[in-house]
Amino acid sequence: MILFFNFKQKAEIFFLDNSSAAVDIGRDKKYHIILSPALYWIKKEKLPLKYLHEVKKIAPTLFEDILPKGEYSYFAYKEEDNFILFAYEDKEILALLEKKGISPTNIASISFSQTALDTSVEALKIDDERVLTKKEGMVVVLPALWFLDAQALQKHHFTPSKHTIKLEQFSHIIDTKTVYKLGVFLGAFIVILAVEYFTYYGVLQKLSQQKEQLFKQHKLKPTLIQNSAILTHYESVAVRQEKLREYISYILKAQLMKNEKITEIAYENKKLHIVLQGVQKDALQRIFTDFYKKKIALDIQEKANQLIVEVAL
């Protein structure tokens, strides 16, 4: 609480007027900005309305006769039976603040002279030509000539008010309503994308579980790579077994002469051996017609009276 109080105390009063002297301030210094009546328009109205937001809504209509052309913001508060309404140009105030060397980060609050000026003072000199005074409850700027005994305007003549305003920095570039609409649109779009994301995420999780279940269900290895390797092995086994049966059928169809005979058929290590007796090498084309027709390579060896034919599978 003490810290908060100290922090509040750090902010200084700065009366913002065209004639105010520029300040050279550090990054951390804070100011309660009091707007000169020259920077806003004020109206005191008795309105048949209950709520402030209703008053703010109709404020542009109430000011339309007196305001020069520009982009205005409106503020209002209730004082007894009346509503005090303000119209001000954010862009103009921001430009003046910049001119005086105050950036938005140096601002603790912004209030109107109407709400911040000490009521006990009759007239306060802004400069040699103008004074700040209260007339019929309204703080106004009048010629200094009318108040010869006016005191010089000091910081202690103001007390930071609870009626503060926030300046719209970009209201001249883009309308606040449009910004909110755009925000709502983008927000809604993000929500749609998020919903879509979580839907996909759910499907992804379900599919991952199904994939795990798939291998478990068939008592297979846990990964696709392992199972693919086993499948490749089985595929090569199937191809080899098919070839073996096909080649044996060729051997069984062999056309042998009376003195020719097959004495041995062996298969091992992916090789098929056929041992023939009484067969000349050049007779092989007649005996194993199918092998030659299908251009299957035969490795032929002659040993003693035997002919050994080897076929790779």
Partner 1 sequence: MNRVNPLHIILLLIVVLFFAFFKLAGIKSELKELQQEYKKSQKVAEELVSYKKLYGNRKRVQKALQKIVSQRSLQSANIKLLQRPNSLEIKSASMKLNELNSLISKILNGSYEIKRLKIKSLDATHASIAVEIAW
Residues forming the site for partner 1 (CB under 8 A): 104-110, 166-167, 169-170, 174, 176, 179-180, 182-183, 186-187, 189-190, 193-194, 196-197, 200-201, 203-204, 207-208, 210-211, 214-215, 218, 220, 224, 227-228, 230-231, 234-235, 237-238, 241, 244-245, 248, 261-268
Phi-psi region of 129 (alpha: psi -120 to 50; beta: other; left: phi over 0): alpha
Q: Which has the closest alpha carbon to 293: 262, 259, 247, 256?
A: 247
Q: Give the pair of three-digit tokens for residue 262.
A: 């097959």
Pick between residue 146 and residue 201 the one whose CB is nearest to partner 1. 201
The nearer residue to partner 1, 203 or 257, going by C-beta atoms, is: 203
For residue 243, the surrounding DSSP H or E stretch is helix 224-252
Spatial separation of the C-alpha atoms in residues 253 and 153, rounded to whole Å = 126
Q: Of 13 and 144, which CB lies nearer to partner 1 in the complex structure?
A: 13
Smallest distance from partner 1 to CB 233, Å: 9
- Phi and psi (nearest 5°) for 87? -130, 135
Tell me how far apart the alpha carbons of residues 43 and 140 are, in angstroms, rounded to a whole number.
12
What's the closest the beta carbon of residue 310 comes to partner 1, in angstroms?
14
Instruction: Find the shortest distance in angstroms from Cβ 263 to partner 1.
Output: 5
The answer to whether the CB of 14 falls within 8 A of the CB of 123 is no
- Minimal distance, residue 170 CB to partner 1, in Å: 6
Residue number, 79 or 235, with CB nearest to partner 1: 235
Q: Are 32 and 160 in contact (CB under 8 A)?
A: yes
Query: Least distance to partner 1 from the beta carbon of 86, Å?
Result: 17
Query: Would you state the torsion angle of the CA atoms of residues 170, 176, 180, 186, taken in this order, to the nearest 10 degrees?
Result: -40
Q: Which residue's CB is nearer to partner 1, number 247 or number 291? A: 247
Nearer of residues 85 and 97 to partner 1, judged by Cβ: 97
Closest approach, Cβ 237 to partner 1, in A, equals 6
Distance in Å, CB of 177 to partner 1, minimum: 10
Cβ distance to partner 1 smaller for residue 104 or 137: 104
Burial group, residue 243, by CB count within 10 angstroms (0-12, 13-18, 19+): middle
What is the DSSP track for 144-212? GGG-TTPEEP-GGGB---S-B----TTTTTS-HHHHHHHHHHHHHHHHHHHHHHHHHHHHHHHHHHHHH
